[in-house]
Structure 1
């Protein structure tokens, strides 16, 4: 699965909002003279912040490009889930009410934990697929108004493009992963191109295991040596193996994926 990283929202907007409240609070002109003259006490109630202000709904579908999916926020209108769409919201979470910025660690944990269920897949089936997740946070104005939600969308990506998702609401799959979303490798001309299995391919995903190693990122030679663990999934046949990149390793990813040679 792809691990996603997003920027930390700058706290300047939140600080500015807080400063505005302080300034407006100090400008209230109340004093003992008002009460002595019999005037009613001034009481301007502040609206209660709504952490879900502007939040999307689970099962909302969207048609967006890969480039648009990389933005921090998304104001696109949802489309009918039986029409063409490239993402579907499967989970909406919230940050603490007093959060001054989005928390990518919480997002990664929650979006990852709910993805398989949102798609209707087992964890192993999810790993065999090109499905992953993206997330969006409130706009600056929504954040200043008290919004603390984040949105997890499922997507299917291959070759730097988003594929159209199956029609219908979440869970969108009920009978495993079809070839149109299954992970394969096209190694013609030694290109090692990752494709879905409905296209010409040489290797098909067969299983995964956890790499050994500490905090330090292993060398390529060490990964290749551990890659022999793929024989377990390929009946001692030829295999293709992938391992985490260093940023993923630093975030705790230890997954090595094995692909079995196939006639395709």
Structure 2
């Protein structure tokens, strides 16, 4: 689950390069073509992997799968000709921080949600004209697609709506609870110790039975910086 690892890691280490709220003049060619913060789009899972977004925004009251939470600018000396890995690192870190500002930054509650981020840059024509912006979009990840977002975006809490809350499918794939699922997140906690299979299983057996609502239960875990990891306990559902 790279999106969870990236999100929690970004939150805990407090990354920050250039603030994604960098002010630019309206007629600045570096900002030309950037979508408005708060605008919504009907992005598919396939389009989410594209370098730029070739579609018009939709009304946020209509079905949509992505909402712009910030626009950022490539910090000098980076240009669009730099290695893709460097560009993706900058955009990913700034976009996760923008999502945290929008919905909250509690790492445990983040793991109980399916929130993620995607980001787009200018198209080739806009780049040639000097555009340096990138847009950060909040999304919720389902097992094989992007889910529809509620409007407005709910902040992180223990009572997230199904459209945002984290569940598992019968095949243990992460999805929203609005999608078909077999397990629902009931409890998330920090665990300390080495992340060996034995230690993780012992920790799950110690904590999860008292925190779930069904005799059968499941668990997941992710590494985070430092001598700790995050574990989630899931109750079985019939949906």
**Fold conserved (TM > 0.5)?**
yes
| Contact 1:49–1:146, Cα closer than 8 Å, also in 2 | no
Distance change (3 Å), C-alpha of 1:236 and 1:208? closer
CA distance in 2, matches of 1:259, 1:236: 7
User: Please, what is the CA RMSD of the aligned residues?
Assistant: 3.3
- Is 2:119 aligned against 1:135? yes
Aligned to 1:226, the other structure's residue is in SS state: helix
| Contact 1:203–1:240, Cα closer than 8 Å, also in 2 | no
Aligned to 2:93, the other structure's residue is in SS state: helix
**Equivalent of 2:185 in 176, 185, 204:** 204
Cα offset, 1:255, TM superposition: 4.7
Counterpart position of 2:19? none
- Is 2:90 aligned against 1:106? yes
Structure 2 unaligned blocks of 5 or more: 7-26
Aligned length: 204
- Structure-2-length-normalised TM-score: 0.70
- Alignment of structure 1 residues 173-188 onto 2, 5 Å: 173=154, 176-187=159-170
| Contact 1:56–1:151, Cα closer than 8 Å, also in 2 | yes
Task: Render the CA deviation track for 1:118-154: whole Å, top value 9, x for unaligned.
Answer: 2367443322111111111112222222221111101
- Is 2:114 aligned against 1:125? no
Counterpart position of 1:242? 220
CA distance in 1, matches of 2:33, 2:198: 48
Counterpart position of 1:162? 146
Please tell me whether Structure 1 or Structure 2 has the larger radius of gyration of its CA atoms.
1
- Is 2:200 aligned against 1:226? yes
CA distance in 2, matches of 1:263, 1:211: 29
Larger deviation, residues 75-84 vs 195-204: 195-204
Distance change (3 Å), C-alpha of 1:263 and 1:71? closer
Cα offset, 1:226, TM superposition: 2.5
**Equivalent of 2:61 in 73, 77, 82:** 82
Larger deviation, residues 90-99 vs 112-121: 112-121
CA distance in 2, matches of 1:91, 1:224: 42
- Alignment of structure 1 residues 144-163 onto 2, 5 Å: 144-163=128-147
CA distance in 2, matches of 1:203, 1:80: 31
- Is 2:168 aligned against 1:194? no
The one of the two structures with greater contact order (alpha-carbon pairs below 8 A, sep at least 6) is 2
Structure 1 unaligned blocks of 5 or more: 6-47
CA distance in 2, matches of 1:141, 1:104: 20
CA distance in 2, matches of 1:127, 1:202: 14
Aligned to 2:139, the other structure's residue is in SS state: strand
